[in-house]
Amino acid sequence: MSTYMARPPARELFVKSIESLSPHMKRVVLTGESLSDFPPDQASAYIKLIFDNPAMPGKPLRRSYTVVSSDQRARHLTIDFAVHPDACDQGPAARWLEDARIGDPISVSGPGPTKLVDLDADWFVLVGDLTALPAIRANIEILPAHAEGYVILEIPHQDDQQSLLLEASLIPKGMELIWVINPHPGQQKELLKETLANLPHFPGDPYLWAASELNAVLEIRNWVNEESLAPRSSRYISSYWQLGLPDEAHKIQKKERLSE
Ligand SMILES: Cc1cc2nc3c(=O)[nH]c(=O)nc-3n(C[C@H](O)[C@H](O)[C@H](O)COP(=O)(O)OP(=O)(O)OC[C@H]3O[C@@H](n4cnc5c(N)ncnc54)[C@H](O)[C@@H]3O)c2cc1C
């Protein structure tokens, strides 16, 4: 029997609305009849946006984004895009976002699996930059009211706090929220790790969730290993992009350097 599985067809969607959540975060709601069978409860899962590849027609470019929310009945899929402040070499997703208007078409595949913490952990650490904020928000929303730990978020400007503070009331009181301002994302790779390394630990075993630029995430991964903070079964550590490289090249680096 053949094990070949055809890739499910992409959904052809349209921009329903675009809204600025903060200076470097835009929320886009997509709509289309093909969302009628989009599975429910997918916050934190990724979808792929599919773009034409002018250099290699027939080999489209795919970029990963996190499901903020989806509504099968209303045919809505919501995505939050980080706006890159140092955008001199924009990729297809950033270019699409810059020009996006209501009614524009976009092809979307997925969703992939959700990326949620294990709620059996004794305490929680959620770390990331703006690209991880949608998934971190989804994780905050499932934490029990008595959860303890830290949320460490790197943002380009203090006004970007708005993009999470919309839901600040959802953050359990025992989860300390720490903002790290970095006007040049991808530079100062040690910022998130150093913030984390200076925090006291809670009793018991944590679940560590971290996603950001590859070099920043490697700093965190190496530190977590040195400290034996969270075994592989109690962590999600992933890079979501890499400074100076398009996603195709980032993926190769991620495989070589992060999964070693
Ligand atoms: C599982 C997963 C979920 C993700 N979810 C989200 C999400 O919900 N929201 C979101 O905004 N991003 C998310 N990302 C990150 C997003 O896929 C990347 O930022 C992607 O590279 C953007 O594609 P692009 O076409 O704009 O740039 P690319 O063509 O990949 O790169 C072009 C240039 O832009 C730079 N660049 C790419 N991303 C950034 C950035 N964030 N800041 C500064 N410079 C950048 C690159 O270094 C490169 O120099 C996710 C990634 C993964 C793997």
3-state secondary structure 31-87: ECHHHHHCCCCCCCCEEEEEECCCCCCCCCEEEEEECCEEECCCCEEEEEEECCCCC
Share of the chain above pLDDT 70, in %: 95
- Domain definitions of the chain by residue range: 11-109, 123-257
pLDDT at 29 over 70: yes
User: What pLDDT, on the 0 to 100 scale, is given for residue 8?
Assistant: 73
pLDDT at 202 over 70: yes
Tell me if 80 CB under 6 Å of ligand 1: yes
Q: Are strands 149-155 and 123-128 parallel, antiparallel or unpaired?
A: parallel
User: What pLDDT, on the 0 to 100 scale, is given for residue 1?
Assistant: 44
Look up tokens 């006291």; give the residue: 200
- Report whether 140 contacts 151 (CB < 8 A): yes
pLDDT at 2 over 50: no
pLDDT tens-digit series, residues 119-147: 999 999 999 999 999 999 999 999 999 99
CA-129 nearest atom, ligand 1? 41
Which DSSP string do the residues of 149-215 spell out, in sequence order? EEEEEEESSGGGGHHHHTTGGGS-TTEEEEEEE-SSTTSSTTHHHHHHHTSPPPSS-EEEEEEEEHH
Run of H or E residues at 19? strand 11-22
> What does pTM read for this prediction?
0.96
CA-63 nearest atom, ligand 1? 17
Closest CA to 135 of 126, 146, 123: 126
User: What pLDDT, on the 0 to 100 scale, is given for residue 162?
Assistant: 84
For residue 240, how many other CB atoms are within 10 A of its CB?
A: 24
pLDDT tens-digit series, residues 58-101: 999 999 999 999 999 999 999 999 998 776 789 999 999 999 99
Compute the average pLDDT of residues 43-61: 95
CA of 39 to the centre of ligand 1 (A): 24
Fold designation for 11-109: Elongation Factor Tu (Ef-tu); domain 3 (2.40.30)
Q: What is the rounded distance in angstroms from the CA atom of residue 139 to the CA atom of residue 161?
A: 17
pLDDT tens-digit series, residues 215-257: 999 999 999 999 999 899 999 999 999 999 999 999 999 999 9
Q: At what angle do helices 247-257 and 214-227 cross, to 10 degrees?
A: 20
CA-135 nearest atom, ligand 1? 8
CA of 202 to the centre of ligand 1 (A): 33
Please provide the CATH number assigned to the domain covering 123-257. Answer: 3.40.50.80
Tell me if 156 CB under 6 Å of ligand 1: no
